[in-house]
Every structure is written in C-alpha cells, then in structure tokens.
C-alpha cells in the first residue's frame, strides 16, 4: 500500500485521507511536504526545535480537521497557510511571555514613592496611548492581551482572523510610537536621579 501511495497525486491522497481516514495517505503527504514547511518555519523562527513543533502542530490540525477540509488550492499552499497562522500565533504567545501586560502587573508592594510614580506614569501613558487607537482596533487589541485567541476574537467581533491580525499589528505599531515618549522620559529620569 505504501508503494501505491507514493504514485498518487496530492489531491488523490487528500481524498483518501478525508473520505477513508487513510493514515498511509496522510503519512505520504507528511513525507512530501514536511521538510519544506520545517525549512520555512526555521527561517521565520530561527529555531529548529520550534520550527519542528510548529510543523507537527500543522499536521496534527490537518489530520484532526480532515473531515472538514475544503482545499481549493494545492495542498502545499494550504499547509503553508496553516503554518503561517501557527507562526503568527507563536509570536503572539512569545510576546505575551516576554512583555508583562500592564493589566496583570502588580502594583509595587513596598512603599517606594519613585516606583509608584513610575508605575502611575507608565499606566497613564499606556491608557492614553490605548485611547488613541481606533475603537475596533482597541477592542481587538485589548481582547488579545486578555488571552483570547485570534479565532475567538474574530468570532466575537464578527471579523476574519486576518482582520484581527491587522488590528493587532496596527495597535502594536501605534503603541510603539506612542510609548517611545515614556521610554525617553523613564531613561532621562533614571539618568538624572
């Protein structure tokens, strides 16, 4: 059976995988496409282990969603699209780990006036910067920072995941520009104290 799978087209393999739950067809698709996907993921993430994990996740979702698959373009392009979404989600998760959300940050416990002032100033800058975002963009961004997935946000706001991604990118770009003033002030405060 393995030999017969190797001569089938991708479209035929997908049909077997979707209609007959054919694991050999799935394995053949994996064999044909995994290497290129891993190479792409390594270029995007810079880490082989992360790349391999992301590609494994792509194929896991591909197999689990096989009964709902509706591939109109070639399978390689479909898998690349799935990988792109996984990489974006991976970056958002990493960003959340690295940047402590102000909403989750604890107010300093000891009574240090300078730290309280810096925290209050940062909170004020952040809130002012958030208010400068367009309403829909702000709503999407705040939901993303509360841990909702792009799919959950898209569903709740009745927009596509690509639109969610665009709103988050726009919000980050605007906040980066807005918050640079705080960074300059904070640096100057540290330098002169």
Whether residue 87 sits in one domain with residue 36: yes
Q: Do 16 and 79 share a domain, yes or no? A: yes
Q: Residue 136 falls within a domain, yes or no?
A: yes
In terms of domains, do 90 and 119 share one?
no
Are 46 and 121 contained in the same domain?
no
CATH number at residue 143: 1.10.10.10
Give the pLDDT of residue 183: 59
Same domain, 64 and 93: yes
14 or 180, which is more confident? 14
Round to whole Å and give the CA distance between 177 and 19.
51
Instruction: Choose one of 98, 133, 149: the last residue of a domain.
Output: 98
- Rounded mean pLDDT, 66-79: 79
- With pLDDT > 90 as the criterion, what percentage of the chain qualifies? 22
- Judgement on whether residues 92 and 123 belong to the same structural domain of the protein: no
**At which of 54, 70, 98 does a domain end?**
98
Q: Which structural domain range is residue 117 located in?
A: 113-192
Is the pLDDT confidence value at 45 over 90? no
The CATH number for 34's domain is 1.10.1740.10
Distances (CA, A) of 68 to 56, 58, 62, 107: 19, 15, 10, 47
Counted domains in the chain: 2
Which tens digits make up the pLDDT trace of 128-165? 778 888 899 989 988 888 888 889 899 989 999 999 99
Residue where one domain finishes, among candidates 98, 123, 138: 98
Whether residue 125 sits in one domain with residue 67:
no
Residue 38 token pair? 């891993």
Q: Are both 91 and 37 inside the same structural domain?
A: yes
Tokens 């596509």 correspond to 160
Measure Cα distances from 121 to 118, 124, 185, 189 in Å.
5, 5, 10, 12
Do residues 7 and 80 both lie within one domain? yes
């Amino acid at each position: 059976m393995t030999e017969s799978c190797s001569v089938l087209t991708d479209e035929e393999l997908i049909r077997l995988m979707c209609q007959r739950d054919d694991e050999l067809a799935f394995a053949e698709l994996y064999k044909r496409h995994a290497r290129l996907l891993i190479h792409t993921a390594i270029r995007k993430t810079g880490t082989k282990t992360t790349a391999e994990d992301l590609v494994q996740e792509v194929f896991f979702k591909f197999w689990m969603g096989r009964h709902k698959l509706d591939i109109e373009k070639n399978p390689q392009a479909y898998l690349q699209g799935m990988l792109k979404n996984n990489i974006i989600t991976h970056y958002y998760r990493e960003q959340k780990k690295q940047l402590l959300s102000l909403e989750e940050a604890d107010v300093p416990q000891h009574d240090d006036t300078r730290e309280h002032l810096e925290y209050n100033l940062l909170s004020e800058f952040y809130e002012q910067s958030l208010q400068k975002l367009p309403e829909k963009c702000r709503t999407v961004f705040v939901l993303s920072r509360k841990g909702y997935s792009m799919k959950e946000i898209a569903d709740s706001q009745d927009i596509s995941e690509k639109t969610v991604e665009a709103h988050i990118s726009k919000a980050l770009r605007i906040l980066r520009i807005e918050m640079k003033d705080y960074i300059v002030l904070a640096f100057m405060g540290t330098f002169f104290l």
